[in-house]
Structure 1
Amino acid sequence: MTGTPGQTGPETAVGTETMSAQAIDAAAEPLRAALADQLARTGLLADPAWRHAVETVSRHRFVPGFYAQTDHRDEHGLVVWEPVTAATDTRRWLKAVYTDTTLITQFDGGEPDWGHPVTRAGGAPTSSSTLPSLVLRMWMDADLDDGQDVLEVGTGTGYSTALACERLGGQGDVTSIEIDPHRLEQAAAALYGGGYSPDLAVADGLYGYWPSAPFDRIVAACSVRTVPHPWLAQTRSGGKILATLSGWLYGYARALLTVTRDSGGEPTAEGPLLPGTISFMAARTHNRPEPGNPAHWAALTRDASPRPARHAPSRVDEATEEGFFGRFLAQLAVPDVQLATENTVDGPVLHLVDVTTGSAATLTPDHMVRQAGPARLWDAVEATWDAWDRAGRPGPQTFRMRVAQGRQTIIHTELKDLAFSLPSNPGSPVPGP
């Protein structure tokens, strides 16, 4: 499953300078070594097999171009993104590729023509080359080892797939699936051209991939609101699923689940949330629905009686690792809620919006809240934060997730008032009464 990247390819112009593919490969070699040294200093590469993978896999072959954010905006106020490729600026491209950073490679599901790249404004990123430290962290947390059958959900550029192939060598099988056919086509060319031979398929990752099942490990390079039931069904007993949980408030946490089977053969899974912060783009069918006009939601709460908010609205966006997890807990408390911001002369007004029930909460800059609808959304968030604060804000590693009988729950190991149910999973069997 491993091989040495080929040395053929087009020449690349940089001003009056022309670099051949061989010259680019040569220039990349010390950059790969420097990246490995950087990651080793963080403790990520204690396993020599993973260090060898980082030093061997040529990331530049999987990222022919990326979009860099500029300081400019267009006439509509949208951020301008400029393409960076081997042809436009070889040195900048190579330096970025071998930096531990995420590189945006696609917006709005449209595959760029990297041979003729164009500047763009605005849009939602829909694919990227994830920063190498995070890719490694995911594979290592999943406890990848020789002889395992592995499913990667979300091939993306293929760089992560190549690292797994290099790590396992011929001592395991890697299957990688991608919902975007254009993404997979580009990844396949880079993987097969580099001598790697995973099983690749265009498929919706939420259904796993039955033709290659069962698996010892399933690792998702996208985030999900709930763990799809097919992942459990396709994992061997004792196997593990590493999933990033997210939602419509853009809170994130990782769960490492070990799969077992009950007396009737039905798969169940349980395991801890893992420490640290992480974010992945959501599986496309798990993206939030459009909420509509914030002013329309504001009208629902306009006549509601206000009360002082016990927690400042700004806590939803607290930019710390602790605040990051607090946002995830708020999301667990109100799993169908999303956030809409309305800018006013007095400052930003936040609207919590639940399109499934029609409930809404409006939080004003003077820390007042008005709520309407069948659910009191901000009450639920504050009750969760109150319990978490009283306990000293325990981290994610003090919580466990369980999937059984069509239900998915996350609970604190000691605190009964920090227990949550995830949204219903359309792919799960219907639980009994």
Structure 2
Amino acid sequence: MSDVLEGRRRAWNEAMCAHHAWPEDAPWVRAAFDATPRHAFAPDRIWDWDGEAYVPVDRATTPDRWAELVYAGPRDATVTEITDGIPTSSLSCPSVVATMLDSLDAEPGHRILELGTGTGWNAALLAHRVGPHGRVTSVEASPDLARAAIRNLAQARRGVDVAIGNGTHGHPTTAPHDRVIATYAVEHVPWAWIEQLRPGGDLVFPLGRMGHFAATVADDHRSARGWMHGLAQFMSDRSTPIPAATVHSYTQVRNGRAPDHIRPVDRDITPLRTDANLMWALRMALPDVVYTTDTDQDGVNAWIHDGVASWAVVTTLPDGGARTEQGGPRHLFDAFETAWDAWIAHGSVSRWDHGITLTEHEQYVWEGDPDTGRRHHLPTPAPAPA
């Protein structure tokens, strides 16, 4: 390992400590990271955002920059694949990887199914945990990524079975599994994942743009229930269209158009930037909408869009008040205020007090209590391709 790469890895490890990113109740996670270098699973070409587009960074020509991106920071992903200008695979940010592994509660000897192999790093970490008496099977939709992962895992001497296929179907030939983990976001949990878990087994998965959940399969195998464990956003299932709001920007959606509607705002908009629980509630209520915030000398400003045709901007004025301008078929800040008020009316529930219930015919996120809390039903998916 070069001195630069070793220095970057050491600084990255120290940053993980400074951010308290190592799970205290799962010391095996840090041990697995130490034994499984991230750079060994990074391709020779990775991608960097230059402010306008993703540009290639090659290890052979810019090794220092390559090492910097591989070991950027606890909350930074490393983009490893671009398709039509959009990231479609990455080495996930290490703090999220560590948190999800902690949520999975894997043990030596477990049989684990992973959906979304990528470059193989996460599967290698799991293989380190389950040891020689366990088994890790990983399913990857991209043949090119799967072949690269197989090479990486072989060089790292990690015994992982990599299968090329649609992760929606799981991997029935190795079921039942003790644990199932998905490394990409789904809008609806495939029932096959739960069918292929043993009763009492755990499933960890990212839900849309929300965060990741951990759910346990009931003894009767007819449902799974669990809690939200983390807030990070993930790339989507390859078989699902990429949400328009994550492809297009506010500027692209507005396209210079004048607003259709202008009005004052009768509330402090600062929580749009400072209250993570409100951010979660808005994301739950309006999953197809994206907003960003910034501050100037007057206060917080927000830009909202749906990636298609509707947009809104909310501006704090010099006198402390605020104003919104909205355009397109949907008045998005009106929708924000409706969702904001509903969240307050139901007790301003913390993001950490949200759970999920999964059955074969119904899936929903609930607030506070699985039986009496307000429910947000997940959309029914289209039939998965064979």
Give yes or no for the alignment of 1:253 onto 2:211: yes
Distance across 2 between alignment mates of 1:417 and 1:306:
35
Question: Which residue identity does 1:81 align to in structure 2?
Answer: V
Give 1:133 deviation, angstroms.
2.2
Q: How many residues align?
A: 356
1:419 to 375, 378, 383: 375
Per-residue CA deviations over 1:223-257 (Å, capped at 9, x if unaligned) read: 111111111111111011111111xxxx3222111
Q: Which residue matches 1:281?
A: 235
Residues of 2 paired with 1:108 and 1:160: CA distance? 22
User: Tell me, what secondary structure is at the counterpart of 1:224?
Assistant: coil
Rate the CA distance shift 1:56–1:35 in 2: closer, same or farther, 3 A.
farther
The residue correspondences of 1:42-81 to structure 2 (distance < 5 A) are: 42=20, 44=22, 46=24, 47-63=26-42, 64-70=44-50, 78-79=52-53, 81=55
> Which structure would you say has the larger Rg?
1
Alpha-carbon separation, structure 1, partners of 2:284 and 2:54: 34
Flag the 1:66–1:288 CA change in 2: closer, same or farther, 3 A. Answer: closer
Pair 1:367 & 2:324 matched: yes
Note the alpha carbon deviations across 1:190-229, whole angstroms, 9 max, x for none: 1112211211011111221111111111111101111111
Give the equivalent residue in structure 2 for 1:409: 364
Structure 2 residue aligned with 1:106, among 74, 78, 81? 81
Q: Is the 8 A contact 2:302 2:313 kept in 1?
A: yes
Structure 2: how far apart are the matches of 1:340 and 1:200? 37
RMSD: 3.7
Displacement of 1:124: 0.8
What is the SS of the residue equivalent to 1:128? strand
| 1:387 maps to which of 330, 342, 346 | 342
Secondary structure of 1:272's match?
A: strand
Q: Retained in 2: the 8 A contact 1:332–1:421?
A: no
CA distance in 2, matches of 1:92, 1:306: 46
Report Cα offsets for 1:372-405 as digits up to 9, x if no partner: 69xx976664333113235664322111111124
Deviation per residue, 1:32-64 (Å, 9 max, x gap): 455444434525154443332222213222112
Change (3 A) 1:37 1:328: closer
Q: Tell me the equivalent position of 1:142.
A: 104
2:16 to 27, 34, 39: 39
Runs (5+) with no aligned partner, structure 1? 1-22, 72-77, 110-122, 342-346, 429-433
Q: 1:235 aligns with which of 180, 197, 205?
A: 197
- 1:206, 1:228 within 8 Å by CA — same for their partners in 2? yes
Identity %: 27
Equivalent-residue separation in structure 2 for 1:202 and 1:422 (angstroms): 28
Query: Taking structure 1 as reference, are residues 423 and 36 closer, same or farther at Cα in structure 2, changes over 3 Å only?
Result: same
Task: Name the SS for the 2:118 alignment partner.
Answer: coil
- Structure 1 151/378 Cα, relative in aligned 2: closer, same or farther at 3 Å? same
Q: Does residue 333 of structure 1 match 2:307?
A: no
1:268-299 deviation digits (Å, cap 9, x = unpaired): 1111112x420110112233466999589x99
- TM-score w.r.t. the length of structure 1 is 0.70
What's the TM-score once normalised by structure 2's chain length? 0.77
Distance 1:412 1:62, change over 3 A: same
